[in-house]
Structure 1
Amino acid sequence: MEVRRSFDILTHQLATTPKTDALAAKINGTWEKISTQQLQDNVNQVSLGLLELGIQKGDKVAIISMNRPEWMFADFGIAQVGATSVPMYPSITVEDYKYIFKDAGVKAVFVSDDKLYAKVKEATADLPEVKHVFTFDKVQGAPHFSELLEKGKKGDPATLEPLKAAVQPDDLLTLIYTSGTTGNPKGVMLSHDNILSNCRNSQRFVPVNAADTALSFLPLCHIFERMVTYLYMINGVSIYYAESMEVIADNLREVKPQIFTTVPRLLEKVYDKIVAKGHEQEGIKKSLFFWALDLGLKYDTQKDQGFVYNTQLALANKIIFNKWREALGGNLRCIVSGGGALQPRLARVFWAAGIRVMEGYGLTETSPVIAVGGFEPENNLIGTVGPLIDNVEVKIAEDGEILTRSASVMKGYYNQPELTAKEIDADGWFHTGDIGEFVNGRFLKITDRKKEMFKTSGGKYIAPQVIEGKLKESPLVEQCMVVGADQKFPAALIIPSFDDLKGWCKRNGVDCNGPKEELVKNEKVVKMYDELVKKYNQSFAQWEQVKKFVLMPNQWTVETGEMTPTMKVKRKIITENNKDVIEALYHHDERR
């Protein structure tokens, strides 16, 4: 059957690839599986329960939870009655919740646990229109999700059929608030067809089938994981929800997935841990490890490097890289990376190790995928985000901005027609705000964020993300932000990766037992970072090079308000919070 609305996915899976483990989650140490039929039954109970509460077509219902089966029960249950889901990050502030509840006109909320329930109760204290809050976990004094399901059990699923039939592909499915780096969050309106067209157009790029299993840990409130989840389910892939980021390695070994989606930072941490283990080896083992790593760093998807290289790589795969694959479950066919730029060296090493990393690109406003590096080497050019997916148009504007047009482009920003008209022009082109170019005529490459570029006092344009990406190639750099608008030269705020820095200190006889505040001022440490910055500066023109930097002791986080929930730096806030530090970098004219 044709999948035209999100909930058609369930009927489709029941008819074509019914699963005993459509979804699975670990509860009290055991993976509990939910069949396709159980999933449909639970979804129907949510729909009937919502109707009992008075939720109607067009009403907004929020979901605030980490990934778990109940998230999907709620998602499809809301959609079947023609209501609109409003998924939110568990990590955002009470003020953000309040703003979104009010702006969207939310009438009911699903939350996972006691902490989030407390945040939601605080945010809704003076919002009488939010009438119902249900918790997935049992929370003292809070209505539990099972109570809604019990209401639903009293209803007749047949009464849902006319309501489902009334839902059109162009109807609003979800309202996703993107927490930008400035201002209030914006509500992105996505229809059923926006997301499902993205699934259809990405289909041939994602090599999955009904025999496969996926591990899911990226937040479902992010459009990337949500769309991929729909794509998995259309293809009959079983979805297992990871317990937490802390035990992701254990879950990978237990579930042995063929695929998972990730953000670059997780791959960086996996890689850094592997390299740290390599440093711990001794003698021939250590030599072999770094020999294999060097081979991997030379890997090129577009080039056959000849008999000698291929023979050496085959040997490296047998004795070194096979352990990498085992650590990731042993069955991994590919990893799809999105949400930020992937360092080319990571892509090279993982591909060399037989783990194909497909880097994709898109935005919430485009549901999300615009381009993705293919599973086949010929469709994967490392350093780019791959070719465009099917039925998506892209053109590069005169100033280098990427414009795109497709059925996946949002209906607009909720309650903001002026902003919608500004971002989607009269010809239907959505202005992404990203700067890019085509390589070899068909591979899209992102070079920077248009809004984040700045000019030095000498009139030269600086693309900070490119420089930051280069500096973060070092395992010793956890976070960094390049500054220098209207100044003579670029400078950088650098937050070390303290675990890696402590390892370096031990190897180089530097005392690392004191507080971080002292460690970042240690003469030997500063000298080492100075050499590191000079090394990476060689990749840039004279005016782009970081002339000064400061090492900082504390990470930027979502909680401090300095990062968005998708882990992008809030430049304005970080600049404001470190005014004096930045001023000191430019106070004297001496150059580092």
Structure 2
Amino acid sequence: MTADFVDRLDPNVAVQFLNRVAQTPDLEAFRYPRGEGWASVTWRQTSDEVRRLAAGLLALGVEQEQRVGIASNTRYEWILADLAVMCAGGATTTVYPTTNAGDTAYILGDSQCRVLFAEDDEQLAKIVEHRGSLPELVKVVTFDGTADGDSVITLDALGELGDAYLAEHPDVIETTAAAIKPDQLATLIYTSGTTGKPKGVRLRHRGWVYEGAAIKVQDILSEQDLQLLWLPMAHAFGKVLLSSQLACGFATAIDGRVDKIVDNCAEVKPTFMGAAPRIFEKAYGRIQTMQAAEGGAKEKIFHKAFETGLRVAELRREGKAVPLPLKVKHALFDKLVFSKVRDRFGGRVRFFISGSAALNREIAQWFNAAGILILEGYGMTENTAGAAVNHPDTNKFGTVGRALPGAEVRIGENDEVLLRGPHVMEGYHNLPEETAAAFTEDGWLRTGDKGSLDEDGFLTITGRLKDLFKTSGGKYVAPTSIESKFAAICPYASQFLVFGAERNFVVALITLDPDAMASWAGENGMAGKSYSELVRSDEARAMVAGYVDQLNAGLNRWETVKKWEILDHDLSIESGELTPSMKVKRNVVATNNADLIAAFYQ
């Protein structure tokens, strides 16, 4: 695939947005929850609101590249605020709503935010606590919080400021957008630094525009598609889906409530969705346990259906004809079993895009057998989220696909994955030494991930270099590989974390899914018992032991898990053990359970 499109990119995100509005003004742009239903807005209606808010920011004195923070859950107003910042020439600084007050203040101070969009009173409280240390912050705009009409104003009040400004400067949005250079700062996304303080990744307009265009040129999404967007917009994965929407023109139903994902799928009926592997693992486990609870003939039909589906999918991948008897059997199972699995996600999904962590190959193939394609992709904040992704026509399970058109991937020393292209960050904000360390001498971005490229250019990620460990016997272990295998084996698993660096054997910490365990409890005479009571029971330990034995049977001798323990709580974002994109903070879990891990070796 040629990369000529890179030479024809829109100069910036503001122009990209204005061009999208001009191309399809009356097509649906967004849906968002309102009351018991969903409200819908066109691109023209979205543009009208974005222009008002952008002009309001200009009226407040926001200048080119000045930072404007957004501390909010994923919602329609987040999108409006971000696009308004782009059209005002500012630079969005993202803050997770779960970030504590101290880190929120640090991010706003380090980035020198001039204006902040704060979702509600909970977010406002974080600012009040540290307002004295934020001299650059001149105004806070709240979506749902309590405004005082002075230092804190409502979104409507900002729009009214914009109306007055537009009356005096009717062409200001177009002239401001035209002045934004491709290499100008568009976004600061803060990630955890090695010092413990978050570090800001400086992402340029060129990178965001490129990401969307690289998806569009592959012809996998169009104006007819409908996305369900729940991912945190403070995360690069969420932001890149917005860039793709501006490039391709599809509509997005937006609702950041994670507990509503499955319900929203059934109601909205999206054609695609981006998600973290944990979402697929949880759905897989739920379907498996529900079927096991049915038992009898239904369970036998279920397993026979997937046995057939996997065989048909294998033949098709190999380019072989499906024998007529198998084809007939598959059609029957599709009606009886697979269609019901697809209906759980609305029945119209063409594919899911999985990112932010490794997806187990067996789980991806299981969904594919049911007619649900999961395209695994790969990237990091430092390269504007997307570096490689599989394509519906050339999907290779177990890989994260080929490099995006117009970008490059190579394997460096110690099998480290290196990236180069328009999507690579400018650097870390106010951290020149860390910026220098992030690049090779010839200018490639170091990812810190270990991987390989096959003869067709498909990239496989085998783990984080810093997570790989060597046992005292000298054998290397890739923990994420073992962990994802357990997720495919045990439908009750939530997290399975492997440790053993410089030790003589491997151990694991396990958490179980509270919802799945509640069902399990009902089937095992323990209904009503708490999670901690369940996981301490002999019955639960025996159940987990069986799955660990099954895991060990497929591992190399030095990888087998010799000792393990079930934690008395599941990991969560609130506890600081999961990121908002549901990645495990391995070092936090290890620190929190240091005594337990040490006891394994006593």
**TM-score, normalised by the number of residues in structure 2:** 0.92
Of 268, 272, 282, which aligns to 1:259?
272
Match in the other structure for 1:162: 175
3-state SS of paired residue (2:165): coil
| Whole-angstrom CA distance in 1 between matches of 2:345 and 2:59 | 45
| Whole-angstrom CA distance in 2 between matches of 1:511 and 1:251 | 31
| Whole-angstrom CA distance in 1 between matches of 2:368 and 2:237 | 22
Range 325-334 or range 271-280, more displaced: 271-280
Give the 3 Å change call, closer, same or farther, for CA 522–466 of structure 1 in structure 2: same
* TM-superposed deviation, 1:110: 0.3
Match in the other structure for 1:483: 499
**Residue 534 (structure 1) aligned with residue 549 (structure 2):** yes
Alpha-carbon contact 1:343-1:469 (below 8 Å) kept: yes
Give the 3 Å change call, closer, same or farther, for CA 505–465 of structure 1 in structure 2: same
Superposed counterparts of 1:93-172, under 5 Å: 93-139=100-146, 141=148, 142-156=152-166, 157-172=170-185
Of 208, 218, 225, which aligns to 1:212?
225
What's the CA shift string for 1:210-230, capped at 9, x where partnerless?
A: 222211111122111211222
Give the 3 Å change call, closer, same or farther, for CA 173–368 of structure 1 in structure 2: same
Superposed counterparts of 1:432-581, under 5 Å: 432-473=447-488, 474-507=490-523, 509=524, 511=526, 513-581=528-596
| Whole-angstrom CA distance in 2 between matches of 1:109 and 1:243 | 20
One-letter amino acid matched to 1:203: K
Range 473-482 or range 410-419, more displaced: 473-482
One-letter amino acid matched to 2:161: K
Of 168, 186, 198, which aligns to 1:185?
198
3-state SS of paired residue (1:431): strand
Give the 3 Å change call, closer, same or farther, for CA 284–461 of structure 1 in structure 2: closer
Match in the other structure for 1:55: 62
- Unaligned 5+ segments in structure 2 are 1-7
**Residue 352 (structure 1) aligned with residue 369 (structure 2):** yes
* TM-superposed deviation, 1:68: 2.2
Match in the other structure for 1:590: none
* TM-superposed deviation, 1:90: 1.0
Range 54-63 or range 309-318, more displaced: 309-318
Give the 3 Å change call, closer, same or farther, for CA 524–23 of structure 1 in structure 2: closer
3-state SS of paired residue (2:63): coil
3-state SS of paired residue (1:189): strand
Number of aligned residues: 584
| Whole-angstrom CA distance in 2 between matches of 1:32 and 1:476 | 37
* TM-superposed deviation, 1:30: 3.1
Superposed counterparts of 1:31-42, under 5 Å: 31-42=38-49
* TM-superposed deviation, 1:505: 4.8
Match in the other structure for 2:329: 312
One-letter amino acid matched to 1:149: G
**Residue 368 (structure 1) aligned with residue 385 (structure 2):** yes
Alpha-carbon contact 1:92-1:559 (below 8 Å) kept: no
Alpha-carbon contact 1:205-1:372 (below 8 Å) kept: no
What's the CA shift string for 1:23-42, capped at 9, x where partnerless?
A: 22121223222221222221
Match in the other structure for 2:3: none
Of 400, 405, 418, which aligns to 1:385?
400
3-state SS of paired residue (1:527): helix
One-letter amino acid matched to 1:566: S
| Whole-angstrom CA distance in 1 between matches of 2:326 and 2:296 | 23
One-letter amino acid matched to 1:29: E
Alpha-carbon contact 1:12-1:234 (below 8 Å) kept: no
Match in the other structure for 2:32: 25
What's the CA shift string for 1:310-359, capped at 9, x where partnerless?
A: 43322221221112222222222111111111121221122222222111
One-letter amino acid matched to 2:287: I
**Residue 426 (structure 1) aligned with residue 441 (structure 2):** yes
| Whole-angstrom CA distance in 2 between matches of 1:346 and 1:444 | 19
- What's the RMSD between the two structures over aligned residues? 2.1
One-letter amino acid matched to 2:241: V
Of 238, 249, 256, which aligns to 2:251?
238
3-state SS of paired residue (2:502): coil
3-state SS of paired residue (1:451): coil
Of 419, 422, 438, which aligns to 1:407?
422
| Whole-angstrom CA distance in 2 between matches of 1:585 and 1:552 | 14
* TM-superposed deviation, 1:510: 5.7
Give the 3 Å change call, closer, same or farther, for CA 329–180 of structure 1 in structure 2: farther
| Whole-angstrom CA distance in 2 between matches of 1:246 and 1:59 | 35
3-state SS of paired residue (1:335): strand
Give the 3 Å change call, closer, same or farther, for CA 446–83 of structure 1 in structure 2: same
3-state SS of paired residue (2:308): helix
**Residue 328 (structure 1) aligned with residue 345 (structure 2):** yes
* TM-superposed deviation, 1:380: 0.7
Give the 3 Å change call, closer, same or farther, for CA 466–333 of structure 1 in structure 2: same
One-letter amino acid matched to 2:496: C
Give the 3 Å change call, closer, same or farther, for CA 29–180 of structure 1 in structure 2: farther
| Whole-angstrom CA distance in 2 between matches of 1:493 and 1:229 | 36
One-letter amino acid matched to 1:488: N
| Whole-angstrom CA distance in 1 between matches of 2:560 and 2:549 | 8
3-state SS of paired residue (1:57): coil
Give the 3 Å change call, closer, same or farther, for CA 10–140 of structure 1 in structure 2: closer
Alpha-carbon contact 2:16-2:209 (below 8 Å) kept: no
* TM-superposed deviation, 1:192: 0.7
Match in the other structure for 2:98: 91
* TM-superposed deviation, 1:438: 2.0
**Residue 72 (structure 1) aligned with residue 79 (structure 2):** yes
| Whole-angstrom CA distance in 2 between matches of 1:110 and 1:128 | 16
| Whole-angstrom CA distance in 1 between matches of 2:424 and 2:371 | 34
Range 361-370 or range 302-311, more displaced: 302-311
* TM-superposed deviation, 1:403: 0.8
3-state SS of paired residue (1:85): strand
Range 156-165 or range 428-437, more displaced: 156-165
Give the 3 Å change call, closer, same or farther, for CA 337–325 of structure 1 in structure 2: same
Give the 3 Å change call, closer, same or farther, for CA 180–417 of structure 1 in structure 2: closer
Range 271-280 or range 483-492, more displaced: 271-280
| Whole-angstrom CA distance in 1 between matches of 2:531 and 2:225 | 45
One-letter amino acid matched to 2:381: T
| Whole-angstrom CA distance in 1 between matches of 2:125 and 2:353 | 35
What's the CA shift string for 1:352-382, capped at 9, x where partnerless?
A: 2222211111111111211111111xx1111
Same amino acid, percent of matched pairs:
35
| Whole-angstrom CA distance in 2 between matches of 1:122 and 1:137 | 19
- Unaligned 5+ segments in structure 1 are 588-592
What's the CA shift string for 1:469-509, capped at 9, x where partnerless?
A: 122222122112211222111101111224334444554x4
* TM-superposed deviation, 1:101: 1.0
Alpha-carbon contact 2:289-2:491 (below 8 Å) kept: no
Match in the other structure for 2:208: 195
